[in-house]
Amino acid sequence: MGKKKVKRKIIEYANLKEKVAVVWTRVSTKEQADNNNSLEIQKKECELYAKRNNIEIVEYFGGTNESAKKEGKLYQEMIAKVAKMKEVNIILVYSFDRFSRAGDEGILTKRYLKSKGIYVVSITQATDPDNPAGEFMENILFLFNQFENNLRKGKCEAGMKECLEKGYWYARPPMGFDKKKEGKEHIVTVNKTGELLREAFYWKAKEGLTDVQIVERLKAHGLKIYKQKLSEIFHNPFYCGKIKHALLGDTIIDGKQEILAPVDVWNKVNGIESNIGYSHAIETPMYPLKRHVICDNCGCYLTGYEVKTKRLHYYKCNTKGCKSNHNIVKIHDGYSCLLSGYTIPEELIPITKKVLTKVFKERNDNQSCLHKELSKQLTECNNQIKDVNVKCGMGYITTEVYETTISVLKDKKASIENELEKSKENLSNLQKFIDSTLQIACKLGDLWVNSNFSIQQKLQSLVFPEGVIYNKETNSYLTKKVNSVFTFVSNISAFYEIHKNKKEPLFSDSFSLVAETGLEPMTSRL
């Protein structure tokens, strides 16, 4: 048979011969700290009370200004530990609301501790825990604390709802955004992480990459993220400028935060199509330029449709009143010609290969130097963090100074680590990369025409990552952003066309300076 548990003998508070206590201190807001309720004051007053009443203090708990979630964990750990400390019979607090503001839960916890022979004693609210009237008064105080909390919560929720209805996000924004407050306005802007997430939305919408592929690509760019988190981001309307919140019920508000992904891109990522009169699949091989070509009249992406009675295919803009309607052959021929403008003449391949080799070698060398410098900075930052921890432990700096300093140093460390990860992205097989680049650049227009839907989509996003604008009047395209590799190719071709019939040599040894603005490697693989 197992050992029989021996119940702890409960002695009335007034009859305790030896009073042994632990101290629990807590603040939940800066205002409480400023209102004569700081952690230091609570601790000092508890020590003075213990001295006057012959109470021995053996340990301190709390003593932090943590979030409610973390503080709740510390509270539960304190209760569990004290319940096992045989010599302790008192938990000393500044006031009952410092012990608990949860009403019934606080009463049950106090009752549980009393069953263990442990009394919760408030130094500012005198009660007699030995008689029913005193216990009743304690319970009233706990319930009043909860009532006060609920009143405060109701006022806060009303204010939060009003803030949301005005389009302002009051809370901590999702990943990829920073928030600051100017007056009564909450300004939410896209940060560096958000810029990468913006790319992820376009990769998903235009290249059709899976979440796993996007996670790997983001990792290569210095952003580590789990697939589940990425899926959560893709489904969150906050990223396309909307606000959805439990306080708003089923209502969705147009937010004032910076838009990370346009609504049409967010819709495509989530499989939402809203084309009046037509039903479209997410992948439509007949229309590779769908949601890539932009109408110059209204700025919306063109979509594709078929006139089944005539078996003819068209691109059109769905904006009401725009009347932008284009024959598919005309659009595709024009786009093929546009791509052909980024083709390297055969005669220039040797010199182009030489230039690219030099440019990318310099880039790798620069990345290597940057990596060394960042590694040095990271070591220095780690030493600074270690030094601050030692000074805090030795009591040379206050808790407030420590928390401020360590927060700045940790942010600095995270930033350096992020940049360090990016600096590892050297091109390991430089010659193979250059050969594949030139192979694509020599037949870009033909390659797009003769490829399947998937390759066409990747080529489009590779060369024109933000799409192209189509002008109906001139039947021509305007480019928004061109991959700098292909801008370089276009410059070479234009230079060649101007000078090929002249007698002087086309290129000198200094020709590589044409690329001095810098090139970025093609991040999309065919």
Residue listed under structure tokens 């030493």: 383
353: pLDDT confidence band, cut at 50, 70 and 90?
A: confident
511: pLDDT confidence band, cut at 50, 70 and 90?
A: very low
Is residue 303 within 8 Å of residue 275, measured between CB atoms? Answer: yes
Give domain limits for the chain.
13-153, 177-269, 293-340, 347-442+483-515
Portion of the chain with pLDDT greater than 70, in percent: 74
85-89, 97-101, 254-258, 357-361: range with lowest mean pLDDT: 357-361
Residue 467 Rama label (left phi>0; alpha psi -120 to 50; beta) = left
518: pLDDT confidence band, cut at 50, 70 and 90?
A: very low
Q: What number is the average pLDDT over the span 426-437? A: 64
65: pLDDT confidence band, cut at 50, 70 and 90?
A: low
Q: What is the DSSP letter of 179?
A: E
132-146, 322-336, 337-351, 491-505: range with lowest mean pLDDT: 491-505
How much is the pLDDT for 367?
67
Q: Is the pLDDT of residue 510 over 70?
A: no
194: pLDDT confidence band, cut at 50, 70 and 90?
A: very high
500: pLDDT confidence band, cut at 50, 70 and 90?
A: low
Quick one: CA dihedral 284, 441, 301, 173, positive or negative? positive
Specify which of 210-219, 346-355, 421-430, 438-447 reaches the highest per-range mean pLDDT. 210-219
> Across all residues in the chain, what is the average pLDDT?
77
pLDDT tens per residue across span 394-425: 888 888 888 888 888 888 888 788 777 766 65
d(CA 41, CA 198): 48
Specify which of 183-197, 288-302, 306-320, 468-482 reaches the highest per-range mean pLDDT. 183-197
147: pLDDT confidence band, cut at 50, 70 and 90?
A: low
- What's the pTM value of the predicted model, to 2 decimals? 0.36
CB contact burial 65-81 (16+ within 10 A = b; e otherwise) = beeeeebeebbeebbee
Is residue 305 within 8 Å of residue 316, measured between CB atoms? Answer: yes
- Multiple choice CATH, 293-340, 2.20.25, 3.40.50, 2.40.160, 3.40.720: 2.20.25
Tokens representing 178 are 């920073």
Q: Is the pLDDT of residue 207 over 80?
A: yes
Neighbours of 156 (CB within 10 A): 11
- Domain 177-269 in CATH 3.90.1750.20? The answer is yes
Q: Is the pLDDT of residue 362 over 70?
A: no
Q: Is the pLDDT of residue 523 over 50?
A: no
4: pLDDT confidence band, cut at 50, 70 and 90?
A: low
Is residue 486 within 8 Å of residue 342, measured between CB atoms? Answer: yes
Look up the CATH number of domain 13-153. 3.40.50.1390
